[in-house]
Amino acid sequence: MNRWDSTPAIRFFGGRKLLYLLGILLMIGLNILVYSSVGFIFDPLWIFVETVALPLILSVVVYYLLRPIINQLESWKIKRIWGILITLLALVGIITLLVVLIIPFLEKQLISLAEELPSYVRDLINTADDWLRNSIFSVYYTNLFQDVDGMLNQIPDYISTYASQTVEGITNIISTVTNVVVAIVTLPFILFYLLKDGHRLPGSIIRIFPPKMRTEVASVFKGIDHQLSAYIQGQIIVSFCIGVMMYIGFLIIGLEYALLLAAIASVTSVVPYLGPVIAITPALIISIVTSPFMVLKLVIVWTVVQLLEGKFISPQIMGKSLHIHPVTIIFVLLTAGHLFGVVGIILAIPGYAILKVVVSHMFYWFQRRYNRFVEEEDQYKMINER
């Protein structure tokens, strides 16, 4: 018998010879070649997915936020349909209150910040320029500044080169606005039916599978539901706590645009690790221009908030439900951002969590089918549990 025959790796894939493993790899390569050659067939499918993705994602997020409330009302003997209507009416009232009371104030602060931001940036550049010209790096900075001047002189050429892309950019903006409007209009209808029949959807999908697979598929749906629920509900609560703490801290140190900067910090905190870096940038610019002492106070506030969030709030609210290593999170965020932009960064972590649940279950099923050691381990665990 050949020394490559019946190795553990080949038995793991269900075969007995090296030729079997090579055949599997060949079939995988042929499938990739065929699908890459006829990819244009799937263009209508991708257009459909792009159209329904945004309203569906928003509906799922709101669904997981409102589902505990609906379930609680149902436990109080309130019919589910009435609980949904009461919750949606309360949600509309809260949104209306925010629009009437808070949004106009945020809008004024945003307009004021947009008007004054160029002066803030100009003061920051002048301050940095004065410091660098009088520092030990002055020689290098002077050479670099000459190169920057040369690049600035080429700006008109760049403008004329890329002017032809203006029409394409306007078309993309119109398409994005259209998708957002469609998402807002269809969101209430999708959300209503999700709240009404969403708890029945996994059971309907599970019945499609053969009876022997239904228990295992149900465990996959249960794992996905747990991951999404824990992440969405926990992340919203953590973001709200960060926004409140930031607002209080900015008020204490007397930083301008406290509410707007706190709102930015709350929204960007949805993105792990990268969000705080994005959020602190405008606050840091304003504090540097204000005074060096304001920078010190901002650093203190930011450090205290991050410590409270990392050591107390997130562990208590979100726990360790995702079980994702920080380095993995960073790589996932960078990859998703490169492939799908801002939307990819926002959806990277829950998407990875779902993929991890599916892949881990499939790998376990594969092992259990073709690896006798897994079956022996399962039997050993059952004996010990008894």
Give the tokens for residue 114.
């947009």
Q: Could you give the CA distance from residue 286 to residue 262 in angstroms, rounded to a whole number?
A: 13
Which helix (H) or strand (E) element contains residue 79? none
Q: Which sign, positive or negative, has the C-alpha torsion 350, 351, 353, 358?
A: positive
Q: What is the pLDDT of residue 252?
A: 92
**CA-CA distance, 59 to 76, in Å (whole number)?**
25
> How much is the pLDDT for 249?
92
- 350 contacts 231 by C-beta, under 8 angstroms: yes
- The phi, psi pair for 357, rounded to 5°, reads -60, -50
Q: Both tokens of residue 251?
A: 């008020």
Helix (H), strand (E) at residue 117: helix 103-133
Which pLDDT belongs to residue 248?
93
Mean pLDDT by 10 residues, the chain (386 residues): 52 59 82 79 75 82 89 88 90 84 78 74 72 66 56 50 50 64 80 85 84 85 86 86 91 88 86 76 82 87 87 69 70 81 78 86 75 54 45
Query: Residue 140's pLDDT is what?
Result: 62
- State how far the Cα of 220 lies from the Cα of 209, in Å rounded to an integer: 13
Q: Residue 179's closest CA among 56, 89, 298?
A: 56
Q: Look at residue 1 in the predicted model and tell me its pLDDT.
A: 47
CA distances from 227 to 17, 216, 321 (A): 40, 17, 7
Residue (of 270, 272, 281, 277) closest to 241 by Cα position: 270
